[in-house]
Structure 1
Amino acid sequence: MAKSKGCFACHDINAKKVGPAFKDVAKREAGKVDYLAQRIKNGGVGEWGNVPMPPQNVTEEEAKLLAQWILSLK
């Protein structure tokens, strides 16, 4: 799903691109599935630098699945 939703345009599993590496997110946000799902769905800025993450075109369920997948990468 991460590929089909375009997540890899700005993120990589192991290395920082425009946004942080998914493994870095998994370490920092461990156990915060609902929080991370809301960040995916609603976007945000300031937590990982000045580059904003725009709101993503995902359902609540898709955001939660993506968050669970990201958090499983640590």
Structure 2
Amino acid sequence: MKRSLITLAMTLAVAAPAFADQALATSKNCMACHSVDKKLVGPSFKDVAAKYAGQAGAAEKLASKITKGGSGVWGPVPMPANAQVSDAEAKKLADWVLTLK
């Protein structure tokens, strides 16, 4: 029983930041066009993470795309600007996306 509780506590401690940032993505309507692991209107967050893995300045580039929008990188459907997302929130979202595998 004690081992089960320790395992559960460790799992929650590791998963909590991911859930918190997914909650931010949900609250900012990112999940209307994106999913963690499958393409919807836009690419999955895991595909974004794979594309930008290891690139210098990737988090800043993605944060800018979150707030200002973009087009042409993932096909013909543009990503609209997200004025409801602050610069700090965009950075947090970009950092989270880049951790997904």
1:1-74 equivalence runs, <5 A: 1-30=24-53, 31=55, 32-56=58-82, 57-74=84-101
Question: Percent identical across equivalent pairs?
Answer: 53
Gaps of 5+ in 2: 1-23
Deviations 1:11-54 (A, max 9, x none): 00110000000000001012410001001010011000000100
Q: Which runs of 4+ in 1 moved over 6 A?
A: none
Q: Greater share of helix residues, 1 or 2?
A: 2
Specify the code of the residue in structure 1 equivalent to 2:70: G
TM-score, normalized by length of structure 1? 0.96
Look at both structures and tell me which one has the larger radius of gyration over its CA atoms.
Answer: 2
TM-score of the superposed pair, with normalisation by structure 2: 0.71
* Higher RCO by CA contacts (8 Å cutoff, separation 6 or greater): 1
Q: For residue 33 of structure 1, what is the amino acid of its counterpart?
A: A
Bigger drift between 7-16 and 29-38 goes to 29-38
**Number of residue pairs the alignment of both structures matches:** 74
- Structure 1 gap ranges (5+): none
User: Offset of 1:3 from its aligned partner?
Assistant: 0.7
